[in-house]
């Protein structure tokens, strides 16, 4: 136990103060996945010792020296004029680097002229939605479950949001086809939050749907930079560059605080998207754009990503193994890529009670109930493992197992009181929809 405390202090979760003992660190971190507008549990979670809520990556891995050195190099060489107003859709050098990089690692088919530099996937999606809305597209489909903040943002723009279920192959395109939508936001590379990788059949169906309705697929490629399986999965954009806008950022690979991302846009949307970006903020910070372009050009970005992939794979393997051992009544799913997995709970578990039980053990996890929009939720919690060391992940899994055990005991005594035999609690393996 003392060891666990020492580890928590070393990782900044706890602070040890002379005279006042050990207290939970006040990190002041804002996690968009659980924006207080969407989740009223933020305050309660502050007391958790191990925070497994998804969101930022391991910020200690930010390549500070490479970034500092490259910034100095750029400052020495950048022309004064480059520090003035530059094209709001991004500096040419970065758009060139990104179009070559995304072609190489994601199979994306594009030219620098079709790349718009933005402040992150969030701005990319928001601008696209605004462009679509202005063009008369008022119905947009999203995955259910999906990021609740995104659904809320769409609502604010006056868009009607259609919830489309997700099964083991990804978004169910047959259901999408029954909506009046001509635009859809999807996470095919690693569905948020289920972690499903969209199947080849579904990818084909999705682009055929877009052709049929003269529509647009917004591909949110937010975390596929970390794929752990041997099988590489390209972007849907590669199948249909005229129908898919791919949105990505360095929020997982470097740091969300940089606010740096991109949209690879179908050619006939480029002009409107550039205008929307100009209207919004007149462009993204120029120095950071030059630095990222240089890091990609020199191969430093690739090396950084390769190092991180090993770093996170170890954490992923640790948490998956530990959860299988410690929480046999739940099923860890969707961990082929990214920095989170979905822990599915048995259907009769009240998710909120499990989140509270985990919290009582000092572990914060994120429930999925608010992610389904109008569709019925399935009990499950999202576990972000990127910011936690393997040692603490083992500890977290033990505590999550203890939380499940407490709930199981309560259920057994309830059943005994009611004179029933408690059925073994396991999540069903036949998932129709997540
Ligand atoms: C589904 C999804 N899309 C996009 C993002 C990233 O947004 P941004 O690039 O604006 O930081 C996140 C962040 O965690 C996310 O969960």
Q: Is 311 exposed, middle or buried (0-12, 13-18, 19+ CB in 10 A)?
A: middle
Of the pLDDT bands very low, low, confident and very high (cuts 50, 70, 90), residue 9 is low
Higher pLDDT: 33 or 82? It is: 82
Hey, which of 117, 149, 186, 192 would you mutate to test ligand 1's pocket, going by the most ligand atoms within 8 Å of its Cβ? 192
Domain boundary residue among 276, 298, 320?
Answer: 298
| 139 pLDDT more than 80 | yes
- The C-alpha R_g of the chain, in whole angstroms, comes to 22
- Is residue 284's pLDDT more than 90? yes
- CB atoms closer than 10 angstroms to residue 424: 7
Q: Cα-Cα-Cα-Cα dihedral of 231, 193, 170, 152, to 10°?
A: -140
CA distance 155 to 168: 27
Among 53-57, 146-150, 383-387, where is mean pLDDT lowest?
146-150
Q: How many domains does the chain have?
A: 2
Q: Look at residue 433 and tell me whether its pLDDT is greater than 70.
A: yes
What pLDDT band is residue 150 in, cutting at 50, 70 and 90? confident
- Count CB-CB contacts under 10 A for residue 167: 16
Residue 421 within any structural domain of the chain: no
225, 308: one domain: no
Q: Cβ atoms within 10 A of the Cβ of 421, count?
A: 7
Same domain? 287 vs 309: no
Interatomic CA distance for residues 262 and 258, integer angstroms: 13
Residue 420 in domain: no
Residue 207 lies in a domain: yes
pLDDT for res 42: 44
Q: What is the whole-number distance in angstroms between the Cα of residue 174 and the centre of ligand 1? A: 26
What CA–CA distance (Å, rounded) separates 401 from 156?
40
- For the cut 70, the answer to whether the pLDDT of residue 257 exceeds it is yes
Q: 30: pLDDT confidence band, cut at 50, 70 and 90?
A: low
Both structure tokens of 219? 């591909």
Cα-based distances in Å from 422 to 121, 263, 355, 409: 46, 52, 22, 10
Structure tokens at 404: 């499940």
The verdict on the CB of residue 121 being under 6 Å from ligand 1 is yes
Q: 274 lies in a domain?
A: yes
Closest by Cα among 245, 295, 250 to 119: 250
Least confident of 1-5, 221-225, 350-354: 1-5
Q: Which of 247, 280, 298 is the last residue of a domain?
A: 298
**Rounded to the nearest whole angstrom, what is the distance from the C-alpha of residue 337 to the centroid of ligand 1?**
14
Note whether 68 and 217 are same-domain residues: yes
b/e map 48-71, b = 16+ CB within 10 Å: bbbbbbbbbbbeebbbeebbeebe
* pLDDT of 43 over the 70 cut: no
Domain co-membership, 158 together with 47 = no
Q: pTM of the predicted model, to two decimals?
A: 0.90
Read out DSSP for 170-210?
Answer: EE-HHHHTTSS-SEEEE-TTS-TTT-PPPPHHHHHHHHHHH
Beta carbon of 240 within 6 Å of any ligand 1 atom? no
Return the ligand 1 atom nearest residue 248 CA.
Answer: 9
Dihedral (C-alpha) 125, 130, 134, 139: value to the nearest 10 degrees?
Answer: 60
Give me 127's structure tokens.
């601008």
The predicted pLDDT at position 41 comes to 45
The average pLDDT across 95-120 equals 97
pLDDT at 396 over 60: yes
Q: What is the C-alpha to C-alpha distance for residues 374 and 377, in angstroms, rounded to an integer?
A: 9
Please, what is the average pLDDT of the chain? 90
In a domain, 349, yes or no: yes
In a shared domain, residues 280 and 396: no
Residues 393 and 317 in one domain: yes
Q: Is the CB of 334 under 6 A from ligand 1?
A: no
**268 pLDDT higher than 70:** yes
Q: Are both 223 and 94 inside the same structural domain?
A: yes
Q: Is 45 in the same domain as 69? A: no
Helix H or strand E encompassing 132 = helix 121-134
Is 320 inside a domain boundary? Answer: yes
Percent of the chain with pLDDT over 70: 87
Same domain, 130 and 273: yes
Q: Return the pLDDT at 10.
A: 57
pLDDT band at 52 (very low <50, low <70, confident <90, very high): very high
CATH of the domain at 327: 3.90.1150.10
% of the chain beyond a pLDDT of 90: 78
Assess whether pLDDT exceeds 70 at residue 37: no
Query: Hey, which of 119, 124, 251 would you mutate to test ligand 1's pocket, going by the most ligand atoms within 8 Å of its Cβ?
Result: 251
Q: Are residues 291 and 326 in the same domain?
A: no
CB-neighbour burial class of residue 391 (10 A; exposed 0-12, middle 13-18, buried 19+):
middle
**Residue 130 is encoded by which pair of tokens?**
């605004």
Indicate the range of 64-78, 119-133, 220-234, 309-323 predicted with least confidence: 220-234
At 355, is the pLDDT very low, low, confident or very high (cuts 50, 70, 90)? very high
Structure-token match 């530990």, residue found:
322
Which DSSP symbol is given to 265?
A: -
The answer to whether residue 356 scores a pLDDT higher than 50 is yes
Quick check: is 426 in a domain?
no
The answer to whether 164 touches 191, Cβ cutoff 8 Å, is no
Nearest atom of ligand 1 to the alpha carbon of 251 = 11
Ligand 1 centre and the CA of 220: distance in Å?
A: 8
Contact (Cβ atoms closer than 8 angstroms) between residue 382 and residue 342: yes
* Ligand 1 atom with least separation from CA of 249: 9
70 and 212 together in one domain: yes
User: Which residue range is the domain that position 330 belongs to?
Assistant: 2-55+303-412
Identify the weakest region by mean pLDDT among 28-32, 156-160, 210-214, 368-372.
28-32
Cα angle at 224 between 359 and 144, to 5 degrees?
Answer: 60
| Residue among 33, 119, 121 whose CB has most ligand 1 atoms within 8 A, to mutate | 121
Q: How far is the CA of 406 from the centre of ligand 1 (A)?
A: 34
306-354: pLDDT as tens digits: 999 999 999 999 999 999 999 999 999 999 999 999 999 999 899 999 9
Domain boundary among 298, 323, 356: 298
Q: Which range has the worst mean pLDDT, 16-30, 69-83, 339-353, 406-420?
A: 16-30
Note whether residue 417 is domain-resident.
no
- Any idea what the Cα angle at residue 171 is, between residues 209 and 36, rounded to 5°? 125
Between 33-42, 166-175, 214-223, 235-244, the lowest mean confidence (pLDDT) is in: 33-42
For the Cβ of 220 lying below 6 angstroms from any atom of ligand 1, the answer is: yes
Q: What is the band of 31 on the pLDDT scale with cuts at 50, 70, 90? A: low
**381 closest CA partner among 363, 360, 398:** 363
pLDDT at 141 over 70: yes
What is the average per-residue pLDDT within 166-182? 97
Is the pLDDT at 40 greater than 70, yes or no?
A: no
pLDDT digits (tens, 9 = 90+) for 184-197: 999 999 999 999 99
Q: For position 242, which CATH number holds?
A: 3.40.640.10
Please indicate whether residue 193, judged by its CB atom, sits closer than 6 Å to ligand 1: no
| Mean pLDDT for the stretch of residues 358-366 | 97
Residue nearest to atom 2 of ligand 1 (CA): 222
Q: Which of 118, 147, 153 to mutate to test the pocket of ligand 1 (most atoms within 8 A of CB)?
A: 147
| Cα gap 178→79, rounded to integer Å | 54
Same domain, 150 and 195: yes
């Amino acid at each position: 136990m003392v060891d666990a405390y020492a580890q928590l202090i070393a990782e900044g979760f706890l602070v040890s103060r002379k005279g006042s003992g050990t207290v939970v660190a006040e990190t002041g971190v804002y996690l968009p996945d659980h924006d207080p507008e969407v989740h009223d549990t933020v305050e309660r979670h502050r007391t958790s010792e191990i925070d497994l809520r998804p969101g930022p990556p391991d910020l200690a891995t930010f390549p500070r020296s490479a970034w500092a050195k490259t910034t100095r190099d750029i400052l020495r060489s950048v022309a004064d004029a480059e520090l003035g107003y530059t094209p709001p859709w991004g500096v040419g050098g970065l758009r060139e680097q990104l179009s070559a990089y995304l072609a190489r690692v994601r199979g994306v088919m594009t030219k620098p002229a079709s790349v718009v530099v933005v402040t992150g996937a969030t701005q990319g999606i928001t601008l696209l939605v605004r462009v679509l809305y202005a063009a008369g597209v008022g119905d947009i489909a999203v995955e259910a479950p999906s990021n609740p903040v995104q659904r809320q943002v769409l609502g604010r723009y006056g868009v009607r949001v259609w919830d489309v279920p997700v099964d083991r192959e990804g978004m169910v395109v047959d259901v999408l086809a029954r909506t009046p939508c001509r635009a859809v936001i999807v996470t095919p590379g690693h569905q948020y939050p289920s972690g499903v990788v969209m199947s080849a059949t579904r990818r084909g169906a999705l682009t055929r749907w877009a052709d049929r309705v003269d529509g647009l697929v917004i591909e949110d490629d937010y975390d596929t930079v970390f794929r752990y399986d041997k099988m590489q999965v390209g972007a849907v954009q590669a199948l249909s560059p005229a129908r898919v806008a791919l949105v990505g950022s360095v929020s997982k690979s470097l740091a969300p605080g940089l606010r740096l991302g991109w949209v690879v846009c179908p050619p006939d949307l480029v002009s409107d998207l550039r205008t929307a970006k100009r209207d919004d903020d007149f462009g993204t910070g120029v120095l950071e754009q030059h630095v990222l372009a240089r890091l990609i050009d020199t191969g430093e970005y690739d090396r950084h990503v390769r190092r991180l992939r090993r770093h996170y794979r170890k954490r992923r393997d640790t948490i998956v193994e530990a959860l299988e051992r410690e929480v046999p009544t739940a099923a860890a799913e969707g961990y082929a890529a990214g920095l989170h997995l979905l822990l599915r709970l048995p259907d009769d578990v009240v998710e909120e009670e499990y989140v509270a039980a985990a919290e009582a053990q000092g572990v914060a996890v994120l429930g999925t109930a608010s992610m389904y929009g109008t569709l019925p939720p399935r009990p499950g919690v999202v576990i972000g493992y990127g910011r936690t060391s393997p040692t603490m992940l083992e500890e977290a899994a033990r505590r999550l197992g203890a939380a499940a055990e407490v709930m199981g005991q309560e259920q057994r005594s309830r059943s005994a009181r009611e004179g029933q035999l408690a059925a073994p609690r396991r999540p069903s393996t036949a998932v129709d929809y997540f």
